[in-house]
A and B are shown apart, each in its own frame.
Chain A
């Protein structure tokens, strides 16, 4: 059996929570996990399941790739400069 290297996913959860004034607890309750789990996901200490990723993206009304990415997200300031 071939070993698979775990991919670490980047996410915009903290940014989205701050932008929309959503607490960890509110988000956690909405998607059915413990608030600590949201913290571990935000800090990339846990690679979440696809089902939970969809729930989180759905909560913010965004597509999956707008919230999660295998590559680091471009800083917002860079994106703004590009127009």
Chain B
């Protein structure tokens, strides 16, 4: 992403739309929406059968939920350090650290379940998609769930 795109994202995540997504309850609703959307994509993979439209359709809510989640976190996972302040960098780094532990446990559980389930190729692919998306979004979902209200204004 070039610096012009980064500046554009910076303006959006610090704009009025993002201001409306700054309370903890909204963030938690967005996290649940992300989890539901990931499950929907995994189900679409499991029932894929060469129907690309199903996969595209199932990916749309995930795209929207992830975008809104990024807005609620002021884009700290997308923007370069130069566009973030020290609090945002610190919070992002802590989020990656805590998500690492979660991801390890999650992958062990998924791998153990998959090993005992004797999955066919399509189901294995769906499970892999579910695991990949969960791990990829884990840092921002965990942070959004935990982050306290910012009490805007003066």
Interface positions of A (Cβ within 8 A of B): 17, 23-24, 32-37, 39-41, 43, 45-46, 48-49, 52
Contacts and interface: CB of A to CB of B under 8 A. Distances in A.
Interface residues of B, number: 14
A57 B14 CA distance: 26
Contacts, number: 37
Interface of B: 14, 22, 74, 85-88, 90, 148, 150-154
Contacts of A34: 14, 74, 85, 87-88
A69 B124 CA distance: 56
Chain B binding surface, main DSSP class? loop
A24 B153 contact: yes
B152 to A, nearest CB: 7
A33 B150 CA distance: 14
A17 B150 contact: no
A49 B87 CA distance: 9
19 contacts: A17-B154, A23-B154, A24-B153, A32-B85, A33-B86, A33-B87, A34-B74, A34-B87, A35-B152, A36-B74, A37-B87, A37-B88, A39-B151, A40-B87, A43-B151, A46-B87, A48-B86, A48-B87, A52-B86
